[in-house]
Amino acid sequence: MTVTPLEPLAEDWQKALAVVAHPDDLEFGAAAAIARWTGQGKEIVYCLLTSGEAGIDGLAPAECGPLREAEQIESARIVGVSQVEFLGQPDGTIEYGVALRQVIAEVIRRHQPEIVITNNFRDTWDGDVLLNQADHINTGRATLDATRDAANRWIFAETGERWNGVREVWAAGSPNSKHAADTTDTFAQGVASLKAHDAYIRGLNWPDFDPEEFLEGLARATGTRLGTKLAAPFEVFTP
């Protein structure tokens, strides 16, 4: 079986905005790359559309939301991110559409990033049978579209001055990834960042789940394609 090589992501930028659906989304693979970039002195802001309030079956949303927000803030701190926003969208029922594009366009205009990071929004995680979740799909699609919206002065003018400085949108974990970031030196931070979601992981009732083993399996396979020990994959879009 032929393994297609991956190209390294550009790193000649200073500010990125990560827009994902839930607390823990970035930690299932991308957090180690975030740690690499903050370690280079780059500024990265996290924007979570929901508080993950519907993510723990045995915990009511009113209690779950604040708990998961606290875990996400600590998780972000571990990889060098100090600014985390929660936008109050409904966990589990995020709808793609104009309203969601407007919410994300406002955030992009306010933070003015050069790079926008989101999660895989393809139908599957493996390009075959491992289905993605609707919140991820709708968030990623809306983030890509909102990047273009934010650059057009006549769309959502009420959300502020246009920002056309986004160079690329990166979707972490996409099965169509052709690029990756070397995470060999920051892998341990990525693992610690996922472990910070302790209540969520326990709530999944996966008794045999080992965050380090899970992340290492993904990172090693990607690293082989990049020519490094460990790496995180991304699909790159130009708005």
Q: Judge contact between 11 and 41, C-beta under 8 A.
A: no
* Residue 108: φ, ψ to 5°: -65, -45
Percent of the chain with pLDDT over 70: 99
The per-residue pLDDT for range 155-168, each reduced to its tens digit, is 999 999 999 999 99
pLDDT at 165: 98
The per-residue pLDDT for range 86-98, each reduced to its tens digit, is 999 999 999 999 9
d(CA 202, CA 12): 39
Coil vs helix vs strand at 226: helix
Q: Which residues contact 119 (CB under 8 A, 6 or more apart)?
A: 20, 21, 25, 26, 30, 136, 139, 140, 171, 172, 173
Tell me the average pLDDT across 142-160. Answer: 98
pLDDT at 1: 56
CATH architecture of 7-237: 3-Layer(aba) Sandwich (3.40)
pLDDT at 192: 98
Note the pTM of the prediction, 2 decimals: 0.97
pLDDT at 5: 97
